Amino acid sequence: MSTETVKMKSIWYVVGLLLLIIGGLVLLGGILNLISPPEHKTVLANLRPDLWWGGIIVVFGGILFFSHRNSH
């Protein structure tokens, strides 16, 4: 029998990857709304929440992803 050790990734690595992907999509949507504004604007559209939250999610996801990338 072979005794191989399986190195598992941390759950925070996966969460960071998912947040990077979702934050990137939100940020991309915000950039597209900035380039081509929608016909009907919402009340707080001038604050650009999609850009802010997309950026925050990408930064937080990047912190989680890169800090737990090499952990086992």
pLDDT at residue 2 in the model: 67
Q: What residues does each domain of the chain span?
A: 11-35+44-67
Residue 70 pLDDT level (bands cut at 50, 70, 90): confident
Q: 66: closest CA among 17, 21, 25, 31?
A: 17
Report the pLDDT value the prediction gives residue 43, as an integer from 0 to 100: 92
Full-model pTM: 0.83
- What confidence tens digit (pLDDT) does each residue in 11-56 have? 999 999 999 999 999 999 999 999 999 999 899 999 999 999 999 9
